[in-house]
Structure 1
């Protein structure tokens, strides 16, 4: 299983992308909006510089027709790099674009998935990742767990190379549940993961260990003994 950060914030990526076991970065126009007006290609070039080529970078198109999506995909890969995963919402036009872009070996993340039908069709179109929206499905009274399990079963049953990249989370409980249901990869806001480390019991355990060490050995680190 892999964790990705759903952010375009340079400061957060620089601070945590190598400290935590993060496998990549996902973004969309709403996430970019949080950063204000940016130099789009320079911004993503900087993100790539920080995370390197070994981590995946997912950048979403902004247009809605097959032709426009394909044009944006070429521009993204030409001006950032060819390893970028192009995020494409699963609509009729989006599926058509996915099929065409896969002919030229583009990396594709099919996104904005709410239904089993969308996920199944994206697999058949050749998407490398499908991104079901966990919390948003729940808000619409769609069973997120059942949907992800259906995707995992289809991938196993029919040998699709597609991976499930679950998205849209409000807490780590939802993230863990998505993984339990079969998502191989999840993307979440850095704040969700970081908040999980703020549990008082974790801090107490660390502080107790340190206090016991000081009482027994002294206020000195092991490497200074």
Structure 2
């Protein structure tokens, strides 16, 4: 499973990268705004700064919702760095844009996916990644994890190369359950990844080892 971090915060990205488990980054306009990044030139520069930290897979989202606009923005984003994956929304013109950009050799991430049918369309259009938002489905009392399982099953049936990128991950159990189901990627905040480190028996065991070591060498 690949670990992506869902943020535009450079410090968090560096920390996840330094941990040695980071495979990529996903961002969106909301995350950029949260970091105070305004204006197209600053956004482009920020994407480049992210690309300079990580080895690969930086999802950069288009703002347009029409085909021509998405293509124009997608081509500009792809010029920033070879690591860029263009993030396209799951709408009618978005599916067309996925196909176009894929044919141009540009990797894509189809975002805002909430049904197996949408995921099937994204794969047919050649998306590199499909991003089902499981946390947002949970918010409306729908099983987001079941959606991941359905998409994984459909893709395996037909050998699609599109990777299932589980998004809107809220906690460590989401992450672990996605791994059990077979999601190819999870994207989540830094604290979800670092929470995997924690277990009380690890803390107790280490405390006892250190106490015994101190006794043996006092």
Structure 1 length-normalised TM: 0.89
Distance 1:134 1:20 in 2: 26
Write out per-residue CA displacement over residues 129-157 of structure 1, whole angstroms, 9 at most, x where no aligned residue. 11100111112232222211111111111
RMSD: 1.6
Superposed, 1:33-182 pairs within 5 Å as 33-38=33-38, 39-52=42-55, 55-78=56-79, 80-182=80-182
Question: How many pairs are equivalent?
Answer: 215
Distance 1:86 1:206 in 2: 44
Structure 2: gaps (5+ residues): none
Structure 1: gaps (5+ residues): 219-225
Deviation (angstroms), 1:199: 4.4
The answer for the alignment partner of 1:7 in structure 2 is: 7
Distance 2:72 2:82 in 1: 14
Structure 1 runs (4+) greater than 4 angstroms displaced: none
Partner SS for 1:18: helix
- Are the counterparts in 2 of residues 83 and 107 from structure 1 also a CA contact under 8 Å? no
- Are the counterparts in 2 of residues 165 and 185 from structure 1 also a CA contact under 8 Å? yes
Structure 2 length-normalised TM: 0.92
